[in-house]
Amino acid sequence: MITLPAGKREIWPGFTLAIDKPLLFQPGASYYLKGANGSGKSSFIHRVLLPELNGRKDLYVLCLQQQMHLQLYALKAQAAIFKPGFAIREEGDVWRYLWQDLAERQDELPVYVIADEAYNLDIPQDLQRPLCLIYSSHRYQLEAAQILEFVQVSTQETVIHA
């Protein structure tokens, strides 16, 4: 479980994210980062959330960025070396590749999936480990996701409402 306390965080010089109440991210739940372009969703992921998750030994983190095509090339190369015959052509294939790797691991650690501007989020139903999904998308919203709304109150500040 990840808890981010309420309060203001300077993300960039002259830009602050204000979390109006503590944010709790727990396995078994989905969180939809909702807001206009430029409201701070990606900055929240990179400057607040990922630093909190990185380096932890009690969970896995899968993070796909807005510019997925760059990650696609890297994972195509990795798949060609470590899993010959596994074809990666699009975002859905990347997810299948990453899920397959996790399914082969012999532990029960939870997986925190961070998807910034996900285009095709395909979560397998048979993954035998706890999953926490945190995503933003202008294409869709999953029904069961808790909404974290990013409301820009000025050019210097966005407030995150849980």
For 111-130, what is the mean pLDDT? 78
Task: Note the pLDDT tens digit of each residue in 132-145.
Answer: 999 998 777 888 89
For 45-49, what is the mean pLDDT? 95
- What is the pLDDT confidence band of residue 85, given thresholds at 50, 70 and 90? confident
Q: Which residues pair with 60 in a beta bridge?
A: 111
Q: Which residues contact 113 (CB under 8 A, 6 or more apart)?
A: 62, 63, 123, 131, 132, 133, 134, 135
Q: Which two tokens stand for residue 9?
A: 């965080």
Based on the structure, what is the number of domains in the chain?
A: 1
User: What confidence score (pLDDT) does residue 92 get?
Assistant: 75
Q: Which residues pair with 148 in a beta bridge?
A: 33
Whole-angstrom Cα distance, residue 147 to residue 160?
10
Q: Which residues contact 56 (CB under 8 A, 6 or more apart)?
A: none
Which amino acid would we find at residue 48?
V
Q: What is the DSSP letter of 18?
A: E
Range of the domain at 115: 2-161
Residue with tokens 């998750």: 53
For 110-128, what is the mean pLDDT? 78
pLDDT above 90 for 40: yes
Read off the pTM: 0.86
List the CATH number of the domain containing 123: 3.40.50
Residue with tokens 């396995």: 27
Q: What are the DSSP calls for 31-79, one per residue?
A: EEEEE-TTSSHHHHIIIIIHHHHTT-SSSEEEEE-S-HHHHHHHHHHHH
